[in-house]
Amino acid sequence: MELANTWDKCYPKNERVNHKKVTFKNHFGIDLVADMFWPKNCDKKLPAIACAGAFGAVKEQHSGLYAQEMASRGFLTIAFDPSFTGESGGFPRYMNSIDINVEDFQTAVDYLSNLDNVDSNKISIIGICGWGGMALQTACIDTRIKATIAITMYDMSRVTANGYFDNANNEESRHQLRVNINNQRTIDFKNQSYQLAGGVVDPNLKDVPDFVHEYAVYYKNRAYHPRSLNSNNGWAITASTSLLNNRLFTYAGEIRSAVLLIHGSKAHSRYMSEDTFKLLKGDNKELYIVDEATHTDLYDGGVNHDKIPFDKIESFIKSHI
């Protein structure tokens, strides 16, 4: 496994924290690669956080930014590339699976729990965009997690099966998706390669919804990275099989640990956090709306880098670990 050994992040390095790359293997035998951050001049056991997202991003983009910032606030953190993406292993490339991606988060918890300088009773997770949904799904099964933070969350199973804003929530639309995916499987098997769906659109296109343009500006301009699916050629067309055939959050109402959902008031995806919050139970659950923030503003703080409520994230986690 060849790993980049230079600082190739889409955010500046914080000199108050240490950094190194680490690897660990999930239960499916896939090697995951992560950036680890921890505060300098600290020799005590630390609370820990595993970060991932967004869906189709790499750790060098916003999950690493979150991990580095939280390390500066007294946590040991990792930001990992999910299976089949970035520097992590797994073949075919650019695939996703609810089961495997939940396992990725659980393996990150396994890894953190066994570090000598981590307090294994104080582990939290942060998921961004589609990985906010995967983080919440992981909280449904993993009782070791003390707090789950879902940032500008996408329910990827809902948006895959129903379309944006549930505009394609009907049997015929889903049937056509199944036909298209299965026809592509036949073609891919014949070609012994996996056709990619394409990343985000050209940021110079004008006749697109605002949120589509915001994605393009972020992934193509503000935070382009050569290993990012969204910045380049996207997921495999057949990658949505699992999301189309399964639904997230069946047991969300049984999550006993703390959950914080954070969304922007101007985010097109806000309805997903609001609807998901209604599934949660207990006084340790909170929906926090960031005024004037769009979906991608919560990736890196937006143009002025002031939209991510790190103080809120820190206080929420520390009050529940």
CATH of the domain at 151: 3.40.50.1820
- Residue 173 maps to a domain: no
Residue 42 has pLDDT above 80, yes or no: yes
In this structure, the number of other CB atoms found within 10 A of the CB of residue 304 comes to: 7
**In the structure, what pLDDT confidence band is assigned to residue 167 with cuts at 50, 70 and 90?**
very high
How far is CA 129 from its chain centroid? 6
Structure tokens, 297: 């503003």
- Residue 144 maps to a domain: yes
Residues 11-32: what's their mean pLDDT? 97
Residue 202 has pLDDT above 80, yes or no: yes
- Residue 179 maps to a domain: no
Residues 191-219: what's their mean pLDDT? 94
pLDDT the model gives residue 2: 77
Query: Coil, strand or helix: which one is 291?
Result: coil
Q: What's the CA gap between 315 and 185, in Å, rounded?
A: 47
Q: What's the CA gap between 177 and 265, in Å, rounded?
A: 31
Mean pLDDT of the chain: 97
pLDDT the model gives residue 286: 98
- Residue 1 maps to a domain: no
- Residue 207 maps to a domain: no
- DSSP 8-state assignment for residue 196: B
pTM: predicted TM-score of the whole model, two decimal places: 0.97
Residue 3 has pLDDT above 90, yes or no: no
Looking at the chain, the whole-number percentage of residues with pLDDT higher than 70 is 100
pLDDT the model gives residue 4: 85
pLDDT the model gives residue 5: 82
Q: Which domain, by its residues, includes 142?
A: 17-168+247-318
Cα angle vertex 258, ends 256, 259, to 5°?
A: 110
**Domain count along the chain:** 1
pLDDT the model gives residue 122: 98
Task: Count CA atoms closer than 13 A to 167's CA, side-chain side.
Answer: 3
**In the structure, what pLDDT confidence band is assigned to residue 191 with cuts at 50, 70 and 90?**
very high
pLDDT the model gives residue 225: 98
Residue 288 has pLDDT above 90, yes or no: yes
Residues 79-102: what's their mean pLDDT? 98
Residue 1 has pLDDT above 90, yes or no: no
Residue 239 has pLDDT above 80, yes or no: yes
- Residue 185 maps to a domain: no
- Residue 187 maps to a domain: no
**In the structure, what pLDDT confidence band is assigned to residue 178 with cuts at 50, 70 and 90?**
very high
**In the structure, what pLDDT confidence band is assigned to residue 206 with cuts at 50, 70 and 90?**
confident
Looking at the chain, the whole-number percentage of residues with pLDDT higher than 90 is 97
**In the structure, what pLDDT confidence band is assigned to residue 129 with cuts at 50, 70 and 90?**
very high
Residues 133-152: what's their mean pLDDT? 98
- Residue 220 maps to a domain: no
Q: What is the pLDDT of residues 91-114, one digit of tens each?
A: 999 999 999 999 999 999 999 999
Residue 21 has pLDDT above 90, yes or no: yes
